[in-house]
């Protein structure tokens, strides 16, 4: 009788191990695959299921000041090293090791996509907002750049009290007020800016921030100058609202910061937006580019130079190049066809956004 009970217990334990370790994550990945092929399916998930997941994960992560994403990576690395040691000591078989590692990979990948990654498969900005990509109009674009430069000059501040909590609250206020226009599910959890243990590496590669999807965390590089902080924070917050596209996050950061009543947040928004606009203007209108640039207040030009020099002091060209290539491949793998160049595509979306606002 005891042997029978032991047999049944062993069999049940084995069945549970197979179901939990392989069948469940595999089923989740099948769902992810369907979302990757059916954008509307992915959109339904992001609009209806993701906010609850974001709320739960961000509630857990906001309870601590350190990054749970960092903890996860460190634990995963240590666990992998320990497993190698156990194999060498013949404490576990290679076959058993393969099963455990394969199961862990399945769960990590399915966790990534179910927690946030499905956002990569939702319809793009133009489809969601029901607008056609704007045709290239050099005259209109030049006028738009001039208008933003005028607003930038008016928003200039020589110095401002830098308070992270105050800035964070100002950005949150803008997101709440613009949530219907931006079509985001506010509040969609909590957002607490955090520092990562790899901040030194981020600085050397020129990375201002990143979003940790596993625990819905916003990570910022506090090496950046205060004037750059608000825009970078608003960009990472956009990711937390289920926006995967880097260009869309830049657009959301621009709209949110430029609309803020907080002087530093507003200045940061116009400063970064004009920088992106000028990059496109140089290509579209090389003849008028110098003339338009001269419209920018000389003190603001100084700020641009300070930002550039600040990053150049710490930037490692080799590491930066490697990081760009890795992230470019990552974005393209997740259906971001432009890869890392998608950051600069914000200007196309900004033109579309201006036309949407003009119709209202």
pLDDT block averages, 10 residues each, the chain of length 360: 47 57 91 96 96 97 96 95 91 90 94 97 94 88 96 92 93 98 95 94 95 97 96 98 95 98 97 95 92 97 96 88 67 56 72 86
pLDDT at 5: 41
3-state secondary structure of 220: strand
Provide the strand spans (E) within the chain. 193-194, 209-212, 217-220
Q: Which two tokens stand for residue 89?
A: 């000591």
Residue 118 CB coordination number (10 Å): 25
What is the token pair recorded at 10? 């062993």
- 336 is written with which tokens? 């971001």
User: 20 by DSSP, 3-state: which?
Assistant: helix
pLDDT of res. 319: 75
pLDDT at 349: 94
């Amino acid at each position: 009788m005891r042997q029978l009970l032991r047999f049944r217990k062993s069999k049940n334990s084995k069945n549970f191990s197979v179901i939990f370790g392989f069948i469940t994550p595999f089923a989740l990945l099948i769902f992810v695959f369907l979302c990757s092929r059916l954008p509307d399916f992915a959109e339904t998930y992001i609009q209806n299921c993701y906010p609850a997941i974001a709320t739960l994960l961000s509630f857990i992560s906001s309870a601590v000041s350190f990054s749970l994403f960092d903890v996860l990576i460190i634990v995963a690395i240590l666990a992998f090293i320990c497993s190698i040691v156990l194999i060498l000591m013949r404490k576990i078989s290679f076959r058993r090791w393969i099963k455990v590692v394969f199961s862990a990979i399945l769960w990590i990948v399915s966790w990534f996509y179910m927690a946030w990654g499905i956002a990569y498969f939702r319809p793009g900005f133009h489809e969601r907002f029901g607008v056609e990509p704007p045709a290239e109009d050099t005259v209109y674009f030049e006028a738009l750049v001039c208008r933003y430069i005028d607003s930038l000059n008016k928003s200039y501040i020589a110095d401002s009290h830098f308070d992270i909590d105050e800035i964070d609250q100002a950005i949150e206020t803008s997101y709440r007020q613009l949530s219907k226009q931006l079509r985001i599910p506010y509040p969609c959890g909590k957002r607490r800016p955090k520092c990562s243990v790899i901040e030194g590496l981020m600085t050397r590669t020129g990375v201002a921030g990143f979003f940790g999807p596993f625990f819905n965390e916003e990570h910022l590089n506090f090496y950046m100058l205060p004037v750059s902080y608000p825009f970078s924070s608003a960009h990472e917050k956009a990711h937390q609202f289920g926006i995967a596209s880097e260009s869309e996050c830049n657009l959301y950061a621009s709209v949110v910061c430029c609309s803020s009543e907080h002087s530093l947040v507003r200045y940061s928004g116009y400063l970064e937006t004009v920088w992106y606009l000028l990059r496109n203007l140089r290509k579209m209108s090389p003849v008028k580019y110098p003339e338009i640039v001269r419209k920018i207040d000389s003190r603001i030009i100084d700020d641009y130079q300070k930002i550039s020099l600040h990053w150049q002091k710490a930037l490692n060209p080799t590491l930066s190049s490697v990081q760009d290539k890795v992230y470019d491949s990552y974005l393209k793998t997740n259906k971001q066809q432009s890869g890392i160049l998608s950051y600069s595509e914000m200007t196309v979306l900004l033109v579309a956004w201006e036309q949407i606002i003009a119709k209202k």
